[in-house]
Amino acid sequence: MQCGFCRIERATSFAFTSQIGDNGHPMRKAVRDAVMQALVPVAQKAGFSGELPYIAIEVPEEKFGDFSTNAAMVMTKPLKSNPRKIAEELTATLKGHPLFTAVGIAGPGFINMSVKPEAWLEECKKIPADNSDYGTLPPVPGEKVLVEFVSANPTGPLHIGHGRGAAVGDALARLLKKAGYNVTAEYYTNDTGLQMENLGRSTLIRYKQLFGMDDALLENSYQGLYIRDIAQEIKDAHGDKFLKQADAESLPFFTTYTADKILDDIKEDLKKFRVNFDNWASEKSFHESGAVEKTIEHLKQHGAIYEKDGALWLKTIELAGDEKDRVVKRANGITTYLAADIAYHDDKYERGFTRLIDIWGADHHGYVARMKAAAKALGKDPASLQPLLIQIVSLKKGGELVAMSTRSGKFTELKEVVDEVGVDACRFTFLTRGYDAQLEFDVDLAKSQSNENPVYYVQYAHARISNIFKTAAERGIDPFPADPNWALLNREDDLRVMKKALFFPAMVEDAANGLAPHATTHYLTELAGVWHKYYTGNRVISDDAALTAARLALAARVRTVLKNGLELLGVSAPEKM
RNA sequence: GCGCCCGUAGCUCAAAGGAUAGAGCGACUGACUUCGGAUCAGUAGGUUGGGGGUUCGAGUCCCUCCGGGCGCACCA
Average pLDDT, whole number, for chain A? 90
Largest separation between any pair of C-alpha atoms in chain A: 92
Q: Which long-range contacts (CB under 8 A, 24 or more apart) does A244-251 make?
A: A247/A201, A247/A204, A250/A204, A251/A197, A251/A200, A251/A201, A251/A204
Domains of chain A: total: 4
Distance in Å from B17's C1' to A481's CA comes to 47
Task: Give me the pLDDT at residue A9, please.
Answer: 29
Task: Give me the pLDDT at residue A4, please.
Answer: 27
Closest C-alpha to A415, from A453, A388, A457, A443: A443
**Does A510 map to a domain?**
yes
Is A153 found in the same domain as A269? yes
Q: How far apart are CA A253 and CA A246, in angstroms?
A: 12
Taking C1' of B72 and every protein CA, the nearest residue is: A366
Q: Is the CB of A74 under 7 A from strand B?
A: yes
**Does A273 map to a domain?**
yes
**Does A4 map to a domain?**
no
pLDDT in tens, A479-512: 999 999 999 999 999 999 999 999 999 999 999 9
Is A537 found in the same domain as A458? yes
Is A496 found in the same domain as A412? no
Find which nucleotide's C1' atom is closest to A472's CA.
Answer: B35
Find which nucleotide's C1' atom is closest to A521's CA.
Answer: B14
Q: How far apart are CA A204 and CA A92, in angstroms?
A: 81
Is A408 found in the same domain as A262? yes
Q: How far apart are CA A321 and CA A386, in angstroms?
A: 16
Domain of A226? 149-278+391-452
Closest C-alpha to A201, from A258, A275, A277: A258
- CA distance to A132, A468, A560, per residue, from A549 (Å): 20, 12, 17
Task: Give me the pLDDT at residue A50, please.
Answer: 76
First and final C-alpha spacing in chain A: 45
- Identify residue A283 by its one-letter amino acid code: E
Task: Give me the pLDDT at residue A450, please.
Answer: 66
pLDDT in tens, A391-403: 988 777 766 667 6
Is A323 found in the same domain as A219? no
ipTM above threshold 0.85: yes
Check: CB of residue A159 under 8 Å from CB of residue A552. no
Query: Do β-strands A400-402 and A385-390 pair in parallel, antiparallel, or remain unpaired?
Result: unpaired
What HEC string does A301-362 produce? HCCCEEEECCEEEECHHHHHCCCCCEEEECCCCCECHHHHHHHHHHHHHHCCCCEEEEEEEH
Q: Is the CB of A539 under 7 A from strand B?
A: yes
Q: How far apart are CA A91 and CA A72, in angstroms?
A: 10
Is A22 found in the same domain as A102? yes
**Does A386 map to a domain?**
no
Give me the average pLDDT of each 10-residue run along chain A (577 residues). Answer: 28 31 83 92 84 86 93 88 90 95 92 96 96 95 95 92 94 97 96 91 95 89 92 97 94 95 96 96 95 96 94 94 93 94 97 96 92 95 93 75 71 86 92 88 70 88 97 95 94 95 95 94 96 95 96 97 98 95
Is A16 found in the same domain as A155? no
At A100, which CATH number?
3.30.1360.70
Q: How far apart are CA A45 and CA A81, in angstroms?
A: 12
Q: Is the CB of A4 under 7 A from strand B?
A: no
**Does A65 map to a domain?**
yes
**Does A133 map to a domain?**
no
Q: Which nucleotides of B are covered by protein (CB under 7 A)?
A: 2-7, 12-20, 23-26, 31-32, 34-36, 38-41, 56-57, 61, 68-76
At A257, which CATH number?
3.40.50.620
Is A208 found in the same domain as A89? no
Task: Give me the pLDDT at residue A453, please.
Answer: 85
Closest C-alpha to A157, from A419, A406, A421, A397: A406
Check: CB of residue A67 under 8 Å from CB of residue A115. yes
Q: Give the containing element (helix H, strand E) for A264.
A: helix A247-272
**In this structure, what are the phi and psi dihedrals at residue A483, rounded to the nearest 5 degrees?**
-140, 70
Closest C-alpha to A484, from A99, A121, A115: A121
**Does A136 map to a domain?**
no
Query: Cα A218 to the chain's mean position, in Å?
Result: 39
Distance in Å from B41's C1' to A34's CA comes to 38
Is A460 found in the same domain as A447? no
Closest C-alpha to A163, from A446, A523, A401, A370: A446
